[in-house]
Structure 1
Amino acid sequence: MIHKVNDNVLLDRLANGDEHALNEIYLLYWQDLFMCAYNVLKDKAACEDIVQDLFLQLWQKRSTIQINISLRAYLYTAVRYNVFRQIRTGKVRSVLFEEAAERMAANTTEFIMAEKEMSKQVARVVAALPDKCREVYKLSREEQLTHKEIASRLNISTKTVENQLTIALKRVRASLNTIALIVVTLLAN
């Protein structure tokens, strides 16, 4: 609780342009944030860049930033997001996934468990879809029907099929991206 008050005071000072507040926040959190990123990426330079960019953005947005959670949670979420973005788009991606593939081959039990968890997650996401969206997804993925065949069977337009399938696939992909990041993180340790 005291730390939260200190964070709020630091954020107020930061919003007023106090560079010392940024320095205090940096000293409080940089090492843990770096380790959070490094545990996944295993790339010192990339992790240093991620943390440095985070503090630069914090300074640049100091007067407009609204943090509705704890400062710590906000910073960790930002680092995790940037690590994920680095994996998805950065040069680290191929190396990280090659190492993960090697670990999966060596740890088949963990891989099988991860695969089962991913299947369960897809099933949970599909089950939570709206009825029509779920029905379109299942016809497309499980019965391998074309958009035109689905439209004909459900008496809807092919555009509606496309829209419903796009919604379903976005939700499934988002869920799987989260699970994949967790699996890669676990395998990296």
Structure 2
Amino acid sequence: MHELLLNDIQLIDRLKQDDEVALSCIYKKYWQPLYLAAYHVIKDKQICEDIIQDLFIKLWNKRQSIEITVTLKAYLYASVRYEVYRQIRAGTVRCEIYDDLVARLHTPAGYGTIEYKELIAQISSIVDKLPEKCREVYKLSREENMSHKQIASHLNISSKTVENHLTKALRLLRTSLSAEVLMLILHQVIKK
């Protein structure tokens, strides 16, 4: 059990010497928080488990050549962020995830930053280009926090039509926002 008392630098050094116990210690120390960070974004147990499992497999397979220039914790969280980003960009996760990420930006935590203001401006610009009804549905949903049922009643349309408009809006947002912006969002959500 004394291996659990080793610091991350010692664990990486032992990992590079093919020490499986070091990998086990890193796994025990970081598996759950990394999984929770990924799950906080993706909300899919199986995909998150696969992401974390693949991360530790890669860590073991690249143990001889791995160069960590930051803390092990920062390296692992960055790896999770990039894999979550890849999953979102590849479309292997549901569209609601992207919507949830954008919704999280509307929290007071990021209001003062230049990046936040630029991101909100970019999102607003994309939303303004939506067809009128689609834009109206999106704004009622995101700015007025109305449910699908409330929007349907308010606009005298079906809930399915509301869902279709939101899907269209989120698809356009997902494809229009640059990779840098998506990484900014993930960086705000998955912190080390």
TM-score normalised per structure 1:
0.56
Residues 13-52 of structure 1 mapped to structure 2, 5 A cutoff: 13-52=14-53
Change (3 A) 1:31 1:117: same
Change (3 A) 1:65 1:120: same
Q: 2:14, 2:22 within 8 Å by CA — same for their partners in 1?
A: yes
* SS of aligned partner of 1:92: coil
**Distance (Å, rounded) in 1 between the aligned partners of 2:98 and 2:179:** 18
Change (3 A) 1:108 1:12: closer
- Measure how far apart 1:120 and its partner are: 5.7
Partner of 1:12: 13
Q: 1:84, 1:181 within 8 Å by CA — same for their partners in 2?
A: yes
- Measure how far apart 1:96 and its partner are: 1.6
Partner of 1:65: 66
Change (3 A) 1:120 1:94: closer
Name structure 2 gaps, 5 residues minimum.
124-176
- Identity, % of aligned positions: 45
Partner of 1:89: 90
Q: 1:14, 1:21 within 8 Å by CA — same for their partners in 2?
A: yes
Change (3 A) 1:95 1:59: same
- Measure how far apart 1:17 and its partner are: 0.7
Q: 1:15, 1:62 within 8 Å by CA — same for their partners in 2?
A: yes
Partner of 2:146: none
Change (3 A) 1:180 1:68: closer
* SS of aligned partner of 1:81: helix
Higher helix proportion, which one? 1
The one-letter code of the counterpart of 1:177 is L
**Distance (Å, rounded) in 2 between the aligned partners of 1:37 and 1:109:** 19
Q: 1:121, 1:176 within 8 Å by CA — same for their partners in 2?
A: no
TM-score normalised per structure 2:
0.55
Q: How many residues align?
A: 129
Q: Displaced runs of 4+ in structure 1, greater than 4 A?
A: 98-101, 107-110, 113-116, 119-122
- Measure how far apart 1:9 and its partner are: 1.0
**Distance (Å, rounded) in 1 between the aligned partners of 2:121 and 2:64:** 43
- CA-to-aligned-CA distance 1:107-138 (integer Å, 9 cap, x gap): 9898xx7984415689xxxxxxxxxxxxxxxx
- CA-to-aligned-CA distance 1:14-68 (integer Å, 9 cap, x gap): 1111111100000000000001101011111111000000000000000110111
**Distance (Å, rounded) in 2 between the aligned partners of 1:34 and 1:16:** 26
Change (3 A) 1:58 1:117: same
The one-letter code of the counterpart of 1:178 is M
Change (3 A) 1:49 1:13: same
Task: Name the Cα RMSD after superposition.
Answer: 3.6
